[in-house]
């Protein structure tokens, strides 16, 4: 689960640095200056790297939750389709937290699931 989320987040952050035409079009549609793309990409990559390090994975998941929340509000603001655009960051967040829950004993103690 974590691997899928990490692959997507690394790709998404990297593509914001490369800034092909679709990224510029997406930023324009969302109402953000294209000049913000590299900074947002670096932020996403840093949050993902913090998540990748086992000792800081919980902190990374918290950072990514905030980052993905911003993506949700951006899509809500412009009226993007719900299931393909607006809720997609929630799907990634579920992969982030689900993967962390399965591999992190401390998190399972904090959030016990009933059997």
Q: 109: pLDDT confidence band, cut at 50, 70 and 90?
A: confident
* SS3 of the chain: CHHHHHHHHHHHHHHHHHCCHHHHHHHHHHCCCHHHHHHHHHHHHHHHHHHHCHHHHHHHHHHHHHHHHHHHHHHHHHCCCHHHHHCHHHHHHHHHHHHHHHHCHHHHHHCCCCC
Mean pLDDT on 8-17: 97
Angle at 87 between CA 23 and CA 4, to 5 degrees: 70
Question: Quick check: 16 pLDDT over 80?
Answer: yes
Cβ–Cβ < 8 Å for 106, 13: no
pLDDT digits (tens, 9 = 90+) for 60-107: 999 999 999 999 999 999 999 998 889 999 999 999 999 999 998 888
Total-model pTM: 0.90
Average pLDDT across the chain, whole number: 93
User: So what's the pLDDT on residue 115?
Assistant: 64
């Amino acid at each position: 689960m974590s691997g899928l989320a990490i692959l997507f987040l690394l790709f998404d952050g990297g593509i914001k640095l490369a800034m092909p035409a679709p990224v510029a079009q997406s930023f324009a549609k969302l109402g953000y200056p294209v000049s913000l793309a590299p900074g947002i990409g670096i932020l996403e990559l840093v949050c993902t790297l913090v998540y990748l390090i086992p000792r800081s994975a919980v902190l990374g998941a918290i950072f990514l939750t905030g980052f993905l929340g911003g993506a949700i509000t951006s899509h809500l603001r412009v009226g993007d389709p719900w299931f393909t655009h607006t809720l997609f960051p929630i799907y990634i967040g579920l992969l982030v937290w689900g993967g962390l829950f399965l591999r992190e004993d401390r998190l399972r103690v904090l959030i016990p699931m009933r059997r």
